[in-house]
Structure 1
Amino acid sequence: MSNFQSALKFRLAVILALSAFMALSSFWLTVVIKRTPSDAASLGPRSEPDYFVFDFNYVKMLPQGKPHYHLTGKKLSHYPLDDSFLIDMPVYTSLDPQNPPQTARADQAILKEDNTKVHMHGNVVGNRKATKTTDSLSLKTEYLLVYPDEDTMETDKPVTILRGNATIEGVGMYANNATGEFRLHHQATVTLAPQGKTIAPLP
Protein backbone atom coordinates (compact mmCIF):
# COMPACT_ATOMS: atom_id res chain seq x y z
CA MET A 1 0.00 0.00 0.00
CA SER A 2 1.44 3.38 -1.00
CA ASN A 3 1.99 6.20 1.41
CA PHE A 4 -0.61 8.19 -0.51
CA GLN A 5 -3.31 5.55 0.00
CA SER A 6 -2.46 5.24 3.68
CA ALA A 7 -2.66 9.00 4.15
CA LEU A 8 -5.98 9.11 2.28
CA LYS A 9 -7.48 6.34 4.43
CA PHE A 10 -6.27 8.11 7.57
CA ARG A 11 -7.88 11.38 6.48
CA LEU A 12 -11.14 9.59 5.64
CA ALA A 13 -11.14 7.92 9.04
CA VAL A 14 -10.57 11.27 10.76
CA ILE A 15 -13.36 12.89 8.74
CA LEU A 16 -15.78 10.06 9.56
CA ALA A 17 -14.90 10.24 13.25
CA LEU A 18 -15.41 14.01 13.32
CA SER A 19 -18.71 13.66 11.46
CA ALA A 20 -19.93 11.04 13.93
CA PHE A 21 -18.85 13.22 16.87
CA MET A 22 -20.63 16.27 15.44
CA ALA A 23 -23.76 14.22 14.78
CA LEU A 24 -23.79 12.93 18.35
CA SER A 25 -23.11 16.43 19.68
CA SER A 26 -25.95 17.87 17.62
CA PHE A 27 -28.31 15.15 18.86
CA TRP A 28 -27.34 15.80 22.50
CA LEU A 29 -27.75 19.56 22.04
CA THR A 30 -31.17 19.05 20.45
CA VAL A 31 -32.29 16.87 23.37
CA VAL A 32 -31.07 19.45 25.89
CA ILE A 33 -32.80 22.30 24.05
CA LYS A 34 -36.05 20.35 23.88
CA ARG A 35 -35.94 19.49 27.59
CA THR A 36 -35.04 22.93 28.86
CA PRO A 37 -38.51 24.55 28.47
CA SER A 38 -40.15 21.70 30.38
CA ASP A 39 -37.90 21.51 33.42
CA ALA A 40 -40.93 21.63 35.74
CA ALA A 41 -42.56 18.69 33.97
CA SER A 42 -39.36 16.64 33.93
CA LEU A 43 -39.00 17.19 37.69
CA GLY A 44 -42.54 15.96 38.31
CA PRO A 45 -45.46 17.78 40.00
CA ARG A 46 -44.46 20.52 42.44
CA SER A 47 -45.67 20.08 46.00
CA GLU A 48 -44.29 23.43 47.17
CA PRO A 49 -45.90 26.86 46.57
CA ASP A 50 -44.77 28.76 43.50
CA TYR A 51 -45.74 32.24 44.74
CA PHE A 52 -46.89 34.13 47.84
CA VAL A 53 -49.04 37.21 48.50
CA PHE A 54 -48.73 38.95 51.86
CA ASP A 55 -51.64 40.90 53.41
CA PHE A 56 -53.99 39.26 50.91
CA ASN A 57 -57.14 41.31 50.20
CA TYR A 58 -59.87 40.28 47.74
CA VAL A 59 -63.35 41.68 47.07
CA LYS A 60 -65.84 39.80 44.87
CA MET A 61 -68.26 42.12 43.09
CA LEU A 62 -71.86 41.46 42.08
CA PRO A 63 -72.94 42.00 38.44
CA GLN A 64 -74.65 45.20 39.63
CA GLY A 65 -71.26 46.55 40.70
CA LYS A 66 -71.83 46.14 44.45
CA PRO A 67 -69.49 44.13 46.72
CA HIS A 68 -70.60 40.54 47.36
CA TYR A 69 -67.98 39.30 49.82
CA HIS A 70 -64.57 40.21 51.19
CA LEU A 71 -61.73 37.75 51.86
CA THR A 72 -58.49 38.77 53.57
CA GLY A 73 -55.50 37.02 55.11
CA LYS A 74 -51.98 37.53 56.42
CA LYS A 75 -50.44 35.37 53.69
CA LEU A 76 -51.69 33.57 50.58
CA SER A 77 -49.68 30.69 49.07
CA HIS A 78 -50.43 29.11 45.67
CA TYR A 79 -49.81 25.37 45.14
CA PRO A 80 -49.52 24.45 41.43
CA LEU A 81 -49.91 20.71 42.08
CA ASP A 82 -53.69 21.08 42.48
CA ASP A 83 -54.04 24.82 41.76
CA SER A 84 -55.15 25.49 45.34
CA PHE A 85 -54.53 28.44 47.67
CA LEU A 86 -53.61 28.37 51.36
CA ILE A 87 -54.47 31.47 53.42
CA ASP A 88 -53.04 32.16 56.87
CA MET A 89 -55.36 33.95 59.34
CA PRO A 90 -58.26 34.30 56.87
CA VAL A 91 -61.28 36.52 57.47
CA TYR A 92 -64.37 36.06 55.30
CA THR A 93 -67.05 38.78 55.32
CA SER A 94 -70.38 38.55 53.52
CA LEU A 95 -71.31 41.95 52.08
CA ASP A 96 -74.51 41.16 50.20
CA PRO A 97 -76.83 44.08 51.08
CA GLN A 98 -79.89 41.82 50.87
CA ASN A 99 -78.62 39.46 53.59
CA PRO A 100 -77.51 40.00 57.21
CA PRO A 101 -73.77 40.73 57.39
CA GLN A 102 -71.70 37.83 58.67
CA THR A 103 -68.02 37.06 59.18
CA ALA A 104 -65.93 33.94 59.68
CA ARG A 105 -62.30 33.73 60.74
CA ALA A 106 -59.89 30.83 61.29
CA ASP A 107 -56.25 29.85 61.59
CA GLN A 108 -56.07 28.79 57.95
CA ALA A 109 -58.24 28.42 54.86
CA ILE A 110 -57.89 26.45 51.63
CA LEU A 111 -59.46 27.58 48.35
CA LYS A 112 -60.29 24.96 45.72
CA GLU A 113 -62.82 24.24 42.97
CA ASP A 114 -62.28 27.54 41.12
CA ASN A 115 -62.43 29.38 44.46
CA THR A 116 -66.13 28.59 44.91
CA LYS A 117 -65.40 26.90 48.25
CA VAL A 118 -63.47 28.21 51.25
CA HIS A 119 -62.35 25.43 53.60
CA MET A 120 -61.65 27.09 56.96
CA HIS A 121 -59.59 25.12 59.51
CA GLY A 122 -58.63 25.65 63.15
CA ASN A 123 -60.35 27.84 65.75
CA VAL A 124 -63.13 28.84 63.37
CA VAL A 125 -65.40 31.57 64.71
CA GLY A 126 -68.39 32.92 62.81
CA ASN A 127 -70.64 35.87 63.66
CA ARG A 128 -73.86 37.12 62.08
CA LYS A 129 -75.34 40.39 63.22
CA ALA A 130 -78.91 40.68 64.44
CA THR A 131 -81.60 42.15 62.23
CA LYS A 132 -85.14 43.37 62.88
CA THR A 133 -86.43 39.82 62.41
CA THR A 134 -83.52 37.57 63.48
CA ASP A 135 -81.27 37.27 66.51
CA SER A 136 -77.51 37.52 66.29
CA LEU A 137 -75.71 34.23 65.76
CA SER A 138 -72.20 33.11 66.70
CA LEU A 139 -70.60 29.75 66.11
CA LYS A 140 -67.36 28.01 66.98
CA THR A 141 -65.95 24.87 65.36
CA GLU A 142 -62.71 23.39 64.04
CA TYR A 143 -63.81 23.24 60.40
CA LEU A 144 -66.21 25.27 58.30
CA LEU A 145 -66.93 25.01 54.58
CA VAL A 146 -68.09 28.35 53.19
CA TYR A 147 -69.80 28.79 49.80
CA PRO A 148 -69.34 32.54 49.22
CA ASP A 149 -71.39 32.76 46.02
CA GLU A 150 -74.38 31.09 47.69
CA ASP A 151 -73.87 32.74 51.11
CA THR A 152 -74.10 29.36 52.84
CA MET A 153 -71.82 27.39 55.17
CA GLU A 154 -71.66 23.91 56.65
CA THR A 155 -69.56 21.63 58.82
CA ASP A 156 -69.47 17.94 59.71
CA LYS A 157 -67.56 18.63 62.94
CA PRO A 158 -68.81 19.42 66.47
CA VAL A 159 -70.10 22.97 66.65
CA THR A 160 -71.21 25.37 69.40
CA ILE A 161 -73.74 28.04 68.45
CA LEU A 162 -74.93 31.06 70.41
CA ARG A 163 -78.25 32.43 69.20
CA GLY A 164 -80.26 34.92 71.20
CA ASN A 165 -80.42 33.50 74.73
CA ALA A 166 -79.69 29.91 73.62
CA THR A 167 -76.48 27.90 73.50
CA ILE A 168 -76.81 25.11 70.95
CA GLU A 169 -74.34 22.26 70.55
CA GLY A 170 -74.27 19.43 68.06
CA VAL A 171 -72.35 17.63 65.33
CA GLY A 172 -72.80 18.78 61.75
CA MET A 173 -74.49 22.01 60.70
CA TYR A 174 -75.89 23.79 57.66
CA ALA A 175 -76.71 27.50 57.56
CA ASN A 176 -78.10 29.60 54.71
CA ASN A 177 -77.63 33.30 55.32
CA ALA A 178 -79.82 34.23 52.35
CA THR A 179 -82.91 32.30 53.49
CA GLY A 180 -82.25 32.10 57.24
CA GLU A 181 -82.37 28.29 57.13
CA PHE A 182 -80.40 26.61 59.89
CA ARG A 183 -79.96 22.91 60.67
CA LEU A 184 -78.03 20.77 63.16
CA HIS A 185 -77.53 17.19 62.02
CA HIS A 186 -76.68 15.08 65.10
CA GLN A 187 -76.56 15.10 68.90
CA ALA A 188 -78.19 18.52 69.26
CA THR A 189 -78.60 19.99 72.74
CA VAL A 190 -79.99 23.39 73.70
CA THR A 191 -79.28 25.38 76.87
CA LEU A 192 -81.37 28.48 77.52
CA ALA A 193 -80.10 31.47 79.49
CA PRO A 194 -82.40 33.19 82.00
CA GLN A 195 -85.25 35.07 80.38
CA GLY A 196 -84.25 38.52 79.18
CA LYS A 197 -80.55 37.71 79.11
CA THR A 198 -78.80 37.66 75.74
CA ILE A 199 -75.54 35.79 75.32
CA ALA A 200 -72.68 37.91 73.99
CA PRO A 201 -71.35 36.90 70.56
CA LEU A 202 -68.03 35.12 70.28
CA PRO A 203 -65.02 37.42 69.76
Structure 2
Amino acid sequence: MTRSLFSRPSIWLVILLLLTLWLDSVLQRPRLQQGNDLQQKIDYIIENLNGIQVNHEFERNRFFSADKLIHYSTEDITQLEHVRFTSIEPDKPLLRVTSDWAELTKDGDDIFLTENVSIIRGEDLDKDKVTMLTDFLHLIPDTDIAKTDRPVTVIRMNSVLNAVGLFMNNRTGEILMQSRVKAHDERTPRSSR
Protein backbone atom coordinates (compact mmCIF):
# COMPACT_ATOMS: atom_id res chain seq x y z
CA MET A 1 0.00 0.00 0.00
CA THR A 2 2.83 2.34 0.65
CA ARG A 3 3.89 2.02 -2.95
CA SER A 4 0.53 2.90 -4.47
CA LEU A 5 0.25 6.02 -2.28
CA PHE A 6 3.75 7.10 -3.22
CA SER A 7 3.26 6.60 -6.95
CA ARG A 8 0.05 8.63 -7.15
CA PRO A 9 1.54 11.92 -5.90
CA SER A 10 4.60 11.43 -8.09
CA ILE A 11 2.37 10.98 -11.14
CA TRP A 12 0.60 14.23 -10.27
CA LEU A 13 3.93 15.97 -9.80
CA VAL A 14 5.13 14.75 -13.20
CA ILE A 15 1.87 15.91 -14.82
CA LEU A 16 2.14 19.26 -13.05
CA LEU A 17 5.77 19.64 -14.18
CA LEU A 18 4.87 18.81 -17.82
CA LEU A 19 1.95 21.24 -17.68
CA THR A 20 4.25 23.95 -16.32
CA LEU A 21 6.82 23.36 -19.09
CA TRP A 22 4.10 23.37 -21.75
CA LEU A 23 2.59 26.65 -20.43
CA ASP A 24 6.04 28.22 -20.27
CA SER A 25 6.77 27.30 -23.90
CA VAL A 26 3.35 28.56 -25.04
CA LEU A 27 3.81 31.88 -23.24
CA GLN A 28 7.37 32.33 -24.57
CA ARG A 29 6.44 31.70 -28.21
CA PRO A 30 4.64 35.04 -28.82
CA ARG A 31 7.70 36.96 -27.62
CA LEU A 32 9.92 35.11 -30.07
CA GLN A 33 7.41 35.59 -32.88
CA GLN A 34 7.13 39.29 -32.06
CA GLY A 35 10.92 39.67 -32.26
CA ASN A 36 10.91 37.87 -35.62
CA ASP A 37 8.09 40.13 -36.84
CA LEU A 38 10.22 43.18 -36.06
CA GLN A 39 13.13 41.67 -37.97
CA GLN A 40 10.85 40.81 -40.91
CA LYS A 41 9.69 44.44 -41.12
CA ILE A 42 13.24 45.50 -42.02
CA ASP A 43 13.35 46.02 -45.77
CA TYR A 44 17.06 46.76 -46.10
CA ILE A 45 20.16 47.94 -44.21
CA ILE A 46 22.89 50.12 -45.72
CA GLU A 47 26.17 50.95 -43.98
CA ASN A 48 28.52 53.89 -44.67
CA LEU A 49 25.95 55.76 -46.74
CA ASN A 50 26.65 59.01 -48.63
CA GLY A 51 24.16 60.77 -50.88
CA ILE A 52 23.32 63.99 -52.72
CA GLN A 53 19.92 65.49 -53.44
CA VAL A 54 19.99 68.13 -56.18
CA ASN A 55 17.09 70.45 -57.00
CA HIS A 56 18.08 72.27 -60.21
CA GLU A 57 14.97 74.50 -60.20
CA PHE A 58 15.86 76.08 -56.83
CA GLU A 59 19.64 75.54 -57.18
CA ARG A 60 19.54 73.60 -53.92
CA ASN A 61 22.06 70.89 -53.02
CA ARG A 62 21.64 68.67 -49.99
CA PHE A 63 24.32 66.23 -48.93
CA PHE A 64 23.79 63.53 -46.35
CA SER A 65 25.76 60.69 -44.83
CA ALA A 66 25.18 58.09 -42.14
CA ASP A 67 27.06 55.22 -40.60
CA LYS A 68 23.98 53.00 -40.91
CA LEU A 69 20.53 53.19 -42.53
CA ILE A 70 17.66 50.83 -41.71
CA HIS A 71 14.43 50.94 -43.72
CA TYR A 72 11.17 49.42 -42.38
CA SER A 73 8.85 48.59 -45.27
CA THR A 74 5.63 48.22 -43.27
CA GLU A 75 5.63 51.78 -41.91
CA ASP A 76 7.90 53.21 -44.65
CA ILE A 77 10.20 54.65 -41.97
CA THR A 78 13.94 55.08 -42.32
CA GLN A 79 16.29 55.20 -39.33
CA LEU A 80 19.82 56.56 -39.56
CA GLU A 81 22.74 56.22 -37.16
CA HIS A 82 25.36 59.00 -36.82
CA VAL A 83 23.83 61.20 -39.48
CA ARG A 84 25.15 64.39 -41.12
CA PHE A 85 23.12 66.74 -43.37
CA THR A 86 24.49 69.71 -45.33
CA SER A 87 22.35 72.15 -47.30
CA ILE A 88 23.80 74.60 -49.85
CA GLU A 89 21.59 77.20 -51.51
CA PRO A 90 22.36 80.49 -53.26
CA ASP A 91 21.97 83.63 -51.10
CA LYS A 92 21.57 81.50 -47.94
CA PRO A 93 24.13 80.53 -45.33
CA LEU A 94 25.55 77.03 -45.33
CA LEU A 95 23.50 74.77 -43.05
CA ARG A 96 25.04 71.70 -41.38
CA VAL A 97 23.14 69.32 -39.11
CA THR A 98 24.50 66.32 -37.21
CA SER A 99 22.97 63.89 -34.71
CA ASP A 100 23.48 60.43 -33.29
CA TRP A 101 20.07 59.20 -34.58
CA ALA A 102 17.53 60.28 -37.18
CA GLU A 103 14.16 58.96 -38.27
CA LEU A 104 12.65 59.92 -41.62
CA THR A 105 8.96 59.46 -42.31
CA LYS A 106 7.53 58.50 -45.68
CA ASP A 107 9.05 60.57 -48.52
CA GLY A 108 11.27 62.44 -46.02
CA ASP A 109 8.51 64.95 -45.20
CA ASP A 110 9.52 64.91 -41.53
CA ILE A 111 12.92 64.19 -40.01
CA PHE A 112 13.29 63.62 -36.27
CA LEU A 113 16.82 63.97 -34.90
CA THR A 114 17.76 62.71 -31.44
CA GLU A 115 20.84 62.66 -29.21
CA ASN A 116 23.68 65.17 -29.62
CA VAL A 117 21.91 67.27 -32.24
CA SER A 118 24.00 70.13 -33.64
CA ILE A 119 22.98 72.74 -36.21
CA ILE A 120 25.58 75.11 -37.63
CA ARG A 121 24.27 77.95 -39.79
CA GLY A 122 27.11 79.67 -41.66
CA GLU A 123 30.73 78.99 -42.56
CA ASP A 124 33.26 78.22 -39.82
CA LEU A 125 35.09 81.53 -40.35
CA ASP A 126 31.86 83.55 -40.73
CA LYS A 127 31.41 85.93 -37.79
CA ASP A 128 27.61 85.57 -38.11
CA LYS A 129 27.85 81.78 -37.69
CA VAL A 130 25.18 80.37 -35.37
CA THR A 131 25.52 77.03 -33.57
CA MET A 132 22.53 75.33 -31.94
CA LEU A 133 22.75 72.31 -29.65
CA THR A 134 19.87 70.15 -28.35
CA ASP A 135 18.91 66.51 -27.81
CA PHE A 136 15.82 66.50 -30.10
CA LEU A 137 14.95 68.36 -33.29
CA HIS A 138 12.08 68.07 -35.77
CA LEU A 139 13.08 69.10 -39.31
CA ILE A 140 10.56 69.84 -42.06
CA PRO A 141 12.80 70.03 -45.17
CA ASP A 142 10.21 71.32 -47.67
CA THR A 143 9.56 74.45 -45.59
CA ASP A 144 13.12 74.79 -44.14
CA ILE A 145 11.68 74.67 -40.60
CA ALA A 146 13.44 73.24 -37.54
CA LYS A 147 11.76 73.06 -34.14
CA THR A 148 12.05 71.49 -30.71
CA ASP A 149 10.29 71.67 -27.37
CA ARG A 150 13.41 70.55 -25.47
CA PRO A 151 16.29 72.53 -23.93
CA VAL A 152 18.46 74.21 -26.55
CA THR A 153 21.70 76.23 -26.52
CA VAL A 154 22.39 78.83 -29.22
CA ILE A 155 25.93 80.21 -29.63
CA ARG A 156 26.73 83.21 -31.81
CA MET A 157 30.12 84.92 -31.58
CA ASN A 158 30.56 85.62 -27.85
CA SER A 159 26.89 85.22 -26.93
CA VAL A 160 25.33 82.11 -25.44
CA LEU A 161 21.57 81.72 -25.25
CA ASN A 162 19.82 78.91 -23.37
CA ALA A 163 16.10 78.19 -23.63
CA VAL A 164 13.48 75.50 -23.68
CA GLY A 165 11.94 75.22 -27.13
CA LEU A 166 13.03 76.67 -30.45
CA PHE A 167 11.52 77.48 -33.84
CA MET A 168 13.87 78.21 -36.73
CA ASN A 169 12.96 79.19 -40.28
CA ASN A 170 16.04 78.85 -42.49
CA ARG A 171 14.34 80.67 -45.39
CA THR A 172 13.85 83.86 -43.39
CA GLY A 173 16.67 83.41 -40.86
CA GLU A 174 14.13 83.78 -38.04
CA ILE A 175 14.95 82.04 -34.74
CA LEU A 176 12.38 82.09 -31.94
CA MET A 177 13.11 80.84 -28.42
CA GLN A 178 9.98 79.65 -26.61
CA SER A 179 10.52 79.72 -22.83
CA ARG A 180 13.03 80.00 -19.96
CA VAL A 181 15.35 82.11 -22.07
CA LYS A 182 18.69 83.04 -20.50
CA ALA A 183 21.40 84.93 -22.35
CA HIS A 184 25.04 85.63 -21.61
CA ASP A 185 27.43 87.75 -23.63
CA GLU A 186 31.16 87.23 -22.98
CA ARG A 187 31.88 90.83 -24.01
CA THR A 188 29.99 92.19 -21.01
CA PRO A 189 31.50 91.51 -17.57
CA ARG A 190 29.44 89.48 -15.14
CA SER A 191 28.31 91.26 -12.02
CA SER A 192 29.81 89.87 -8.82
CA ARG A 193 27.39 88.57 -6.24
- 1:102 equivalent in structure 2: 95
1:135 to 125, 128, 138: 128
Per-residue CA deviation, residues 171-199 of structure 1 (Å, 9 max, x unaligned), is: 1101111111110001111111116xxxx
CA contact (8 A) 1:127 1:137 kept: yes
Q: Does 1:47 align with 2:47?
A: no
- 1:124 equivalent in structure 2: 117
Q: Does 1:74 align with 2:67?
A: yes
Pick closer, same or farther for the CA change 1:167–1:47 going to 2, 3 Å. same
- 2:50 equivalent in structure 1: 57
Structure with bigger helix share is 2
- The correspondence of residues 135-174 of structure 1 with structure 2, limited to 5 A, is 135-174=128-167
**Structure 2, unpaired ranges of 5+:** 1-32, 189-193
Structure 1 residue 135 displacement after superposition: 1.5
Q: 2: CA distance between counterparts of 1:152 and 1:134?
A: 23
Structure 1 residue 98 displacement after superposition: 2.7
Q: 1: CA distance between counterparts of 2:91 and 2:138?
A: 22
Per-residue CA deviation, residues 73-113 of structure 1 (Å, 9 max, x unaligned), is: 01110012311001010001111223110111011100004
Letter in 1 for 2:54: M
Pick closer, same or farther for the CA change 1:61–1:107 going to 2, 3 Å. same
- Higher-Rg structure is 1
CA RMSD after TM alignment: 2.4
Structure 1 residue 130 displacement after superposition: 5.5
Aligned residue pairs, count: 152
Q: 1: CA distance between counterparts of 2:53 and 2:109?
A: 11
Find runs of 4+ consecutive structure 1 residues off by over 4 angstroms: 43-46
- 2:76 equivalent in structure 1: 83
